[in-house]
């Protein structure tokens, strides 16, 4: 089955079943297909806020996977976690019902839009996609959106608009973004990650190059001029490339950069003043994200006044240095960072926010990433004043490499390893004092620790 094949099923009255419908991208897909007049139902392994939201929108969701769930469906879409052995996938094939990958469905959907902004990169996708959304909404463009996180502006991670624009995250894992059809392909950065799938940085750069080559002749690639791997991946491409960065050679660049609890800069377009950007979030990395969003918006014909308004209205996406509350006078934040480079950007931003102490509560994400990037994690986790380490979040993996967060703790002076969330929360309550910044960090469920210490009477 191909992207073009799925396009043929995008007709009102068709019936689709989504395996793993509760995932971020899958739930957004369900809503988008339903808005197109397709009858959608799905299944997931557990109850969740996403499942509740889908049911509220009239989309039936079964708990657990069963062959019975597929009966009557014209097509099936599966999440990447649903393997060939999944009973619903097996049943669909026995019944002759076509089975599509999630990314193939999204690839077909974006073919319906004049403009498809696909935001790729090892880091910063959610924030940049959110920024582009804010800019387009400020310009009254009514976009369709798929974000890998919660955006307060739209009340979820997705929306279905009536305009000509679609903007969505484009992830490189398993080469997922190669099923997409971007007219504007944004590449924020290229780093070594997902090494359970890729053999190394050269293969990753090749994947991003193939993503860029998907852009039609009338489209463009928006690329980070200051990121060596990004520019190496694009070397020699015949596609039109619009660059952004702090370098004087970038098409869209930032000058007069001011960093603190928030960030601001003046943006220049090919040397001429474009707009002033006053962000409500901090960090040099978010200056880069804002430049990328502005460059993409310019390609869609959005004016500088709407770029400025959109960026000024953006207060951050869920789990991106998100303020959660207080504990014993300490401010508690949460962040999704799960790669050493993301940790560095986060902790450097935190260091500039004026707190007396930075207390980092880190939960590594996947055994393979922790093992492959162990030395880098150790280096970055020496930056904060105090480090607490939860056990590794397994996600899709089993611990076949024999690694634990204790290995990190043993290599970082003063670090505390505590695999039990209740015990970790108790330690933090004793540690916290006025002037502290406590950040729960990781792509797993470490945010629950922050929520727990906020909810206790000690806070």
Please give the backbone phi and psi of residue 35, each rounded to the nearest 5 degrees, phi first: -65, -25
Q: What is the share, in percent, of the chain residues with pLDDT greater than 90?
A: 92
Mean per-residue pLDDT, 428-441? 97
What's the pLDDT at 444? 95
458 falls in which pLDDT band (50, 70, 90)? low
**pLDDT tens for residues 1-33?**
889 899 999 999 999 999 999 988 999 999 999
Considering the chain, what is the average pLDDT of its residues? 96
- Total of domains in the chain: 3
Residue spans of alpha helices (H) in 190-245: 201-212, 228-234
The DSSP secondary-structure symbol of 435 reads T
Within-domain flag for 179: yes
For 185, 236, 379, the CA distances from 227, given in Å and listed in that order, are 16, 16, 21
Mean per-residue pLDDT, 210-225? 98
> Are residues 438 and 450 in contact, defined by beta-carbon separation less than 8 angstroms?
yes
The boundaries of the domain holding residue 59 are 3-101
**pLDDT tens for residues 171-180?**
999 999 999 9
What's the pLDDT at 80? 84
Residue 127 sits in the same domain as residue 221: yes
pLDDT at 438 over 80: yes
* Catalytic residue list: 125-126, 169
> Based on the number of CB atoms within 10 Å of its own CB, is 344 exposed (0-12), middle (13-18) or buried (19 or more)?
middle
Mean per-residue pLDDT, 352-368? 97
**pLDDT tens for residues 252-271?**
999 999 998 899 999 999 99
What's the pLDDT at 9? 94
Within-domain flag for 387: yes
3-state secondary structure of 205: helix
Residue 74 sits in the same domain as residue 145: no
Tokens matching residue 137: 């909404």
Q: Could you please report the per-residue DSSP string of 252-315?
A: EEEEEEEESSSEEEEEEETTEEEEEEE-SS--HHHHHHHHHHHHHHHHTT--HHHHHHHHHH--
pLDDT at 457 over 90: no
Residue 394 sits in the same domain as residue 437: yes
Strands 252-259 and 263-269: antiparallel
For the chain, the residue count is 459
CB atoms under 10 Å from CB of 345, counted, come to: 22
What's the pLDDT at 76? 98
Query: Phi-psi region for residue 319, left (φ > 0), alpha (ψ -120 to 50) or beta?
Result: left
What's the pLDDT at 149? 87
The DSSP secondary-structure symbol of 387 reads E
Residue 68 sits in the same domain as residue 129: no
What's the pLDDT at 459? 56
Residue 13 sits in the same domain as residue 127: no
**pLDDT tens for residues 297-330?**
999 999 999 999 999 999 999 899 999 999 999 9
Tokens matching residue 328: 């014993």
**pLDDT tens for residues 390-421?**
999 999 899 999 999 999 999 999 999 999 99
Residue 200 sits in the same domain as residue 250: yes
Within-domain flag for 127: yes
What's the pLDDT at 260? 87
Among residues 267, 287, 313, the one where a domain terminates is 313
Tokens matching residue 204: 């990753």
pLDDT at 286 over 80: yes
Residue 213 sits in the same domain as residue 335: no
Among residues 73, 101, 129, the one where a domain terminates is 101
CATH code (residue 35)? 3.40.50.720
CB atoms under 10 Å from CB of 454, counted, come to: 16
pLDDT at 122 over 70: yes
């Amino acid at each position: 089955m191909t992207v073009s094949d799925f396009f043929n099923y995008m007709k009102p009255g068709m019936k689709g079943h989504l395996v793993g419908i509760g995932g971020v991208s899958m739930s957004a897909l369900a809503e988008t297909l339903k808005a197109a007049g397709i009858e959608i139902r799905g299944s997931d392994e557990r109850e969740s806020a996403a499942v509740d939201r889908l049911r509220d929108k009239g989309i039936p969701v079964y708990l657990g996977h069963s062959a019975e769930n597929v009966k009557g469906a014209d097509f099936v879409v599966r999440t990447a976690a649903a393997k060939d052995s999944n009973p619903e996938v097996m049943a669909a094939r026995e019944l002759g019902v076509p089975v599509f990958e999630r990314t193939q469905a999204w690839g077909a959907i974006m073919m319906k839009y004049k403009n498809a902004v696909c935001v790729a990169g090892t880091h910063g996708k959610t924030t940049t996609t959110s920024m582009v959304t804010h800019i387009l909404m400020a310009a009254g463009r009514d976009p369709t959106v798929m974000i890998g996180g919660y955006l307060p502006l739209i009340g979820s991670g997705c929306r279905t608009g009536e305009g000509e624009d679609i903007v969505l995250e484009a992830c490189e894992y398993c080469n997922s973004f190669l099923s997409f059809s971007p007219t504007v392909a944004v590449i924020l950065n290229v780093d070594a990650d997902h090494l359970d799938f890729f053999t190394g940085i050269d293969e990753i750069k090749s994947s991003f190059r193939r993503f860029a080559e998907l852009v039609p002749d009338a489209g463009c690639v928006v690329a980070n001029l200051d990121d060596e791997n990004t520019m190496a991946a694009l070397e020699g491409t015949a596609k039109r490339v619009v660059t952004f960065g702090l370098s004087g050679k970038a098409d869209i660049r930032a000058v007069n950069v001011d960093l603190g609890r928030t960030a601001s800069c003046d943006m220049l377009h090919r040397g001429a003043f474009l707009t002033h950007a006053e962000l409500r979030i901090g960090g040099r990395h978010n200056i880069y994200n804002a430049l990328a969003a502005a460059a993409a918006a310019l390609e869609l014909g959005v004016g500088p006044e709407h770029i400025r308004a959109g960026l000024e209205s953006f207060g951050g996406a869920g789990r991106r240095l998100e303020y959660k509350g207080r504990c014993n006078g300490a401010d508690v934040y949460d962040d999704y960072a799960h790669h050493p480079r993301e940790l560095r950007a986060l902790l450097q931003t935190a260091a500039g926010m004026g707190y007396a102490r930075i207390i980092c509560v880190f939960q590594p994400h996947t055994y393979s990433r922790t093992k492959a990037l162990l030395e880098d994690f150790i280096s970055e986790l020496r930056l904060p004043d105090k480090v607490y380490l939860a056990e590794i979040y397994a996600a899709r993996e089993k611990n076949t490499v024999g690694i634990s967060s204790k290995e990190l703790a043993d290599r970082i002076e003063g670090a505390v390893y505590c695999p039990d969330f209740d015990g970790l929360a108790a330690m933090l309550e004793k540690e916290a004092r006025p002037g502290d910044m406590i950040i729960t960090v990781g792509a797993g469920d470490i945010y629950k620790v922050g929520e727990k210490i906020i909810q206790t009477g000690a806070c």
